[in-house]
Chain A
């Protein structure tokens, strides 16, 4: 037992790349860069859009993975942080326009780049504001409270809170615009050729890819840091973690705010990319979808979270696209393909149930997590039994 434990630990800690892994990364990079460019060159703007959208969801999934996967806190209102980033980004954008001399000025285009950090902070601060009072709550209570918080944010946005959000009509209001980011026009003018347009979607796709890479880098570093280990310790046993010197509140708040931060970044990026936001983009279903991505891919695993986002946000669209292309048109009719799109929530729901019963660690589990869930199952079971017992003992006086 001791030997295998060592092996697992060293294989987690060694950052060395095997040739196999390098090959995998090269293929991934080629696909991630090549495919959208190819789609753009054949004039398929829709697929470029889907790629960028999947990128946004990967960012969200990575952010939520910090909260759910690493720290083990089920957050069902994660989309509120996404909404916060989007609205703060757009509203501060107006301020920025005002300072720099109107939407037409040369400087106004820098609003996205300039506001990226404030939007991230807005997400993080919202996370802290919500987290401070509620993080003392136990897992399932926390899930419901975060759900309530997400709904409060959405309802407040819908009700045009403070006259800022323009209610369900969304932002920007008639006559206003979200200024396109600087760089968008430049690539269009300089990198397009006679038969290739460097479109807005493609530009944003690359921005999103860069942000996702940044997120992966930061989160990997976090995972291997003191804080990352504190998260895992806390997730596995809060009391034991506290006893070994982990400051539970602080550690939870870090998880909450660092997760929320990526929600904020994804939010402002979505707003400036699409150029329009409304409260309906930030509803409870979106939160559930992001949770699905994390769970499906494998809680606590970065490749897992990314894969979950690709499958849940991308796959239905890709199937729909393929059905219209000559590749699959003989096999699937367009109606059948769009039915797959309609059935996706049903399938995801069923998948979550099956997943929890058969493969709770997800498709691409983190090594640490997989080990806990499989090899140590007997121990965990035993622990749960006694935990269950302990929790039940003091419910005794009134029971039902």
Chain B
């Protein structure tokens, strides 16, 4: 196997773009896990739903001449579309929590997981049956330029994706660590009952968690649609699993860990895809997941968890 090092800068750029998306999705897994100790299996469908909502609003709003006539219009268009898509995905996330997970809050551990698989199956097939079974093109309405930076091609899209991802990550981090609601969320994740006794409304904190996580996942879904140019009803499965891997790499339940894990996984995957056959690209994430769980189940930033009785 010949190794061509000249492609490395390009793969780093691709890795960062991919890693940003993984980080956004991974946050949803880690937030929910931090508070409810459950893997929200349906989170990959939030990613998918975000892309579909995004396309819907893009189609509606791009008919308005104001948005497509000037640069300012384009910026406004995308900001509005992103916000709307994120809000809708967030509401979808809250609905799944309300109907699928809340009744099971004290059930044995397997029950919410099975319920989550059910939600995932339901949403995927709802998109398949009621929208389309084929992949739908996702238009990019502004002109995309390519810049050559340090031997790598960087497109406007990649810059947009990476910059917005970083803004969202910083925003979330500030929200959790600085605001009062963020404090309530941290308190709930530490000890739900004690937080409740201190006057935190547990139900609304959990609902908020199920709004933020899916909203970020939805944003990632839109990025993915723009980046790859099409969306499909089952687009969430593979990125979902990989992002879960990212969350585990970073230490599930740990926000900064999820961000770090996302970028690490993006890097590894982009580099590996360059040097291994692309057919095995998806295997890498699964292998890393298995290895991390076996050798360092607490992740990079998490600490090892000792089972107590």
Contact = CB atoms under 8 A, between A and B. Distances in A.
Interface string B118-138: 111111111011000000000
A350 B118 contact: yes
A314 interface: no
25 contacts: A138-B307, A139-B110, A140-B39, A141-B297, A143-B39, A144-B289, A147-B241, A148-B290, A155-B279, A155-B280, A158-B279, A159-B280, A295-B114, A346-B122, A346-B129, A352-B118, A356-B104, A357-B103, A390-B308, A392-B191, A394-B305, A396-B190, A400-B176, A400-B253, A400-B254
Interface of B: 31, 34-35, 37-39, 99-100, 103-104, 106-115, 117-126, 128-129, 176, 185-186, 189-193, 237, 241, 244, 248, 253-255, 277, 279-280, 282-283, 285-287, 289-290, 293-294, 297, 301-303, 305-309
A291 B280 contact: no
B115 A356 contact: yes
A138 B37 CA distance: 12
Contact of A400 (B189, B241, B277, B307): B189
B117 A346 contact: no
Nearest to B242: A148
Interface in A57-75: 68, 72, 74
A3 interface: no
Interface in A380-399: 380-381, 384-385, 388-399
B191 to A, nearest CB: 6
A297 to B, nearest CB: 13
Q: Which 10 A-B pairs have the closest CB atoms?
A: A352-B118, A349-B121, A349-B122, A148-B286, A346-B125, A353-B118, A356-B115, A357-B103, A159-B279, A345-B125
Contacts of B185: 400
Contact of A74 (B113, B176, B193, B308): B113
A291 B117 CA distance: 10
A288 to B, nearest CB: 6
Given A346-B122, A395-B253, A352 B117 contact: yes
Given A155-B282, A288-B121, A356-B107, A144 B305 contact: no
A342 B125 CA distance: 9
A70 to B, nearest CB: 13
Contacts of B37: 388, 391-392
A71 to B, nearest CB: 11
A133 B294 contact: yes
Given A356-B103, A356-B114, 14 more contacts: A74-B114, A136-B294, A139-B113, A140-B109, A147-B241, A148-B286, A148-B289, A346-B121, A349-B123, A352-B117, A391-B37, A393-B308, A395-B189, A399-B34
Contacts of B306: 394
Contacts of B253: 395, 398-400
Given A145-B290, A356-B107, A357-B104, A151 B191 contact: no
Nearest to A395: B253
A230 B248 CA distance: 31
A152 B238 CA distance: 12
Given A72-B110, A139-B113, A352 B121 contact: yes
Contacts of B237: 284
A137 interface: yes
A398 B126 CA distance: 38
Nearest to B127: A346
Given A134-B290, A357-B103, A400-B254, A394 B308 contact: yes
Interface in A115-140: 133-134, 136-140
Interface string A347-391: 011111101110010000000000000000000110011001111
Given A144-B39, A349-B120, A398-B302, A381 B106 contact: yes
A37 to B, nearest CB: 35
Contacts of A141: 248, 293, 297
Contacts of B35: 400
Contact of A352 (B115, B192, B289): B115
Nearest to A294: B114
Given A159-B279, A394-B306, A356 B293 contact: no
Contacts of B297: 137, 141
Interface residues of A, number: 60
B125 A139 contact: no
Given A139-B110, A149-B286, A353 B119 contact: yes
A390 B309 contact: yes
A398 B254 contact: yes
B192 A392 contact: yes
A8 interface: no
Contacts of A138: 307
A343 B129 contact: yes
Q: Which of A357, A381, A389, A398 has the most CB of B within 10 A?
A: A398
A151 B282 contact: yes
Contacts of A145: 289-290, 293
A34 to B, nearest CB: 34
Given A140-B109, A395-B305, A349 B118 contact: yes
A155 B189 CA distance: 37
Nearest to A382: B106
A145 B254 CA distance: 20
A308 to B, nearest CB: 13
Given A140-B109, A345-B125, A396-B191, A133 B118 contact: no
A156 interface: yes
A52 to B, nearest CB: 25
Among A133, A356, A400, the one with the most B-chain Cβ atoms within 10 Å of its Cβ is A400
Contacts of A137: 293-294, 297
A274 interface: no
A389 B194 CA distance: 10
A151 B286 contact: yes
A50 to B, nearest CB: 22
A233 B103 CA distance: 26
A348 B301 CA distance: 38
A239 interface: yes
Nearest to A136: B294
A357 B307 CA distance: 28
A68 B282 CA distance: 27
A276 B244 CA distance: 35
B236 to A, nearest CB: 12
